[in-house]
């Protein structure tokens, strides 16, 4: 929940990602219209599973498409942890977004307690099982204990989780969890890490561009 329309326009004017890297930006709902046409594909941070109806506060796939939005994040760890998103809700949102013609970044990942109890693989299996197969869908692995904490999974832990996910679902898998310019190249050098879902480091245009450049190394 950062950057209103004016800040979003200023960000895009300053943001210069390198050529050869697939990049999208995911501003809040109020800034989507301002971001469309800014030179970078725009994704929403969430999407509802119905086209319309009595769902106050939600936004549907067709509404996003009408704005010029090309995709959506679904099941982000903050949606799961703070707003009670379930695996079934994530599935329904994914299916509706894909049916509407949006691309999807579907998020999965374990909490700190689940990792400490040795449940990482079981959690990933359960969450990935709910995600549909589609050419327009990629998965983002977000270890919840690394979201907004400054802690990052080691490249070895990230690789292990990505390998597990790819054995369950044949798609590209991004790593999300305190990715920043200092660690992006090492993380994305892992054989099963196909890119990054960038959080706090994406709020500054040069920092985000540096992460994008790391994808080329």
- 3-class state of residue 107 by DSSP: strand
Quick check: 161 pLDDT over 80? yes
Of 139, 65, 132, 69, nearest in space to 109 by CA: 139
Q: What is the DSSP letter of 30?
A: G
When mean pLDDT is compared across 1-10, 49-58, 144-153, the lowest value belongs to: 144-153
Distance CA 80, CA 90 (A): 9
Residues 6+ apart with CB under 8 A from 187: 152, 155, 158, 175, 179, 193, 196
- The total domain count for the chain is 1
Instruction: Output the pLDDT for position 122.
Output: 97
Give 87-125 pLDDT, tens digit per residue.
Answer: 999 999 999 999 999 999 999 999 989 999 999 999 999
**Which domain, by its residues, includes 28?**
5-214
For residue 43, pLDDT beyond 80? yes
The mean per-residue pLDDT over the stretch 182-209 comes to: 97
Q: Which CATH number characterizes residue 30's domain?
A: 3.20.20.70
Paired tokens of 104: 């999807």
The secondary structure of residue 68, as a DSSP letter, is T
For 46, the token pair is: 């969430």
Cα three-residue angle 129-196-135, rounded to 5 degrees: 50
Q: What is the pLDDT of residue 151?
A: 78
Burial 115-143 (b: 16+ CB within 10 A, else e): beeeebeebbeebbebbeebeebbbbbbb
What percent of the chain is predicted at pLDDT more than 70? 100
Model pLDDT, residue 117: 94
Does the pLDDT value for residue 159 go beyond 80? yes
pLDDT value for 93:
98
Instruction: Indicate the pLDDT class of residue 146, thresholds 50, 70 and 90.
Output: confident
Mean pLDDT, range 184-195, rounded to an integer: 97
Positions annotated as catalytic residues are: 76, 142
Average pLDDT estimate for 128-134: 98
Helix (H, G, I), strand (E, B) or coil at 10: helix
């Amino acid at each position: 929940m950062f950057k209103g329309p004016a800040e979003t326009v200023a960000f895009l004017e300053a943001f210069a990602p390198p050529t050869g890297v697939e990049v999208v930006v995911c501003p809040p709902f109020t800034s989507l219209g301002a971001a469309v046409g800014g030179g970078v594909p725009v994704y929403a941070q969430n999407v509802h599973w119905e086209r319309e109806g009595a769902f106050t506060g939600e936004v549907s796939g067709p509404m996003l498409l009408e704005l010029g939005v090309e995709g959506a994040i679904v099941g982000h760890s903050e949606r799961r942890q703070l707003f009670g998103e379930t695996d079934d809700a994530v599935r329904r949102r994914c299916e509706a977004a894909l049916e509407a013609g949006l691309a999807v970044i579907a998020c999965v990942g374990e909490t700190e307690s689940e990792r400490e109890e040795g449940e990482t693989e079981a959690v990933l299996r359960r969450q990935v099982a709910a995600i549909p197969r589609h050419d327009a869908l990629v998965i983002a692995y977000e270890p919840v204990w690394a979201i907004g904490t400054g802690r990052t999974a080691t490249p070895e832990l990230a690789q292990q989780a990505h390998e597990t996910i790819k054995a369950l679902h044949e798609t590209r898998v991004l790593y999300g969890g305190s990715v920043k310019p200092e660690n992006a190249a090492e993380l994305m050098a892992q054989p099963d890490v196909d890119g990054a879902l960038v959080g706090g480091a994406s709020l500054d245009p040069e920092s985000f561009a540096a992460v994008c450049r790391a994808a080329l190394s």
